[in-house]
Structure 1
Amino acid sequence: MSQSLYEVLTAAIGNTPLEWVAVLTGFACVWLAARESLWNFPVAIFSCTLYIFIYHGAKLYSDRNLQVLFIALSVYGWYEWLYGGRSKTELHVSRTSRLEWIACALFVPLFTLGFGYYLTHFTDAVVQHASGSTTLLARLMPFIDSFTTAASLAAQFLLMRKRLENWWIWIMVDIIYVPVLWYKELFPTSGLYALYLGLAVYGYLEWRRAMQKQAASATLPVSV
């Protein structure tokens, strides 16, 4: 009985101290992004590096690979936020273009189906019981993993371009991640994504306020 209680407590506080460091830096990264701080990029690179090892251990291979792409996108985003505006100036918050929405709508389902198939047939992402049987949720997990990866990439790309609607996608992704990570017994990370959900709402409101402020300042008459 005491051993079972010990296992429950161990799972509740996290599998390793590494996960807790990744959780704290991950939270800091999203909060900084919501505040439009450039510091979100170096913090994101550090946090994503830690999650490469964490997700590999949890057999969330698509999310593991996602961290590598996040690191590359963070380097790109760092440059874009500094010099992506007109005449190499600071980038400001704007709306997502129709072409960007179409690209996201094509990319997400294609990646989900393709990489989900790969994870199902060529990795050990589908966890079997001792009897050799699998549950429906276990069979769907590679596709859920792939969908959250694809949607996260779409959201991250829009965030790199400072598109307001990136927060809409993050809200959807965070709602899915919370139960998935709990199912995988990554309890602190599951809790982190519950906090991410609140931060995504906060980020949307902050970015919308910033965009409205920019629009208002652009319409003010120039004094001579």
Structure 2
Amino acid sequence: MDGVTTAAKRPRRSQEERTLETRGKLIAATLDVLLEEGYLKLATQRICDAAGVSRGAMLHHFRDKQSLIVAAIDELLVSATAEIRSQADRVRAQEITPEEFVDYLWFEHFSGRLFYLTLEHVTAARTDDEIRAALIPVVRRFHLALDEIWGALFSAAALPRSRVATVLNLTLCLLRGMGVQTVLRPDDPAYYDDLRGVWKIMLRAILDGRVRLETTGRS
């Protein structure tokens, strides 16, 4: 009995566990390689090498590079949704302020890994009909989740629910624009701090009802 190894004593993993492990490695490697090399240089063999998985094993789980990318982006956005919802719950519990929530979105999601990964797939989708069609429902689910999170977060704000969604989209458009700028303006934190600072002042005034959101354009 003393000669029985620890490995021999360990229960064998199920097929489902091995499948999940392989898929997880491939998805993680896809995101890492996509971030490092960009969409245009993304090669399935490079992903397989990074994941330590054979090309045959990859094709067993994903029929092609596109399906792997879509699965990876979906996983990325699902994870981001859970993190954002957790921080929104902290706002509702008054552990952090809405202004701190905006800072969280910027530092954790729009000025680093998540944003640059999404920038890659958005750029690819502009000219690739297949990847665009595959990603639209994935991104739509993410946006619907954000709408739900934001709506619950500011349900008590002094503005109509339709305007709550508008304020969310204004916030996201600002942060996305800032994120794009960081590509060619990476070393100017004061610039981004100032933009966020002005928006947080405006956001507070809107949420408190001191600024009314009216428009003469389309509703």
Is this a same-fold pair by TM over 0.5? no
Q: TM-score, normalised by structure 2?
A: 0.27
The structure having more radius of gyration, on CA atoms, is: 2
Ranked by relative contact order (alpha carbons within 8 Å, sequence separation 6 or more), the top structure is 1
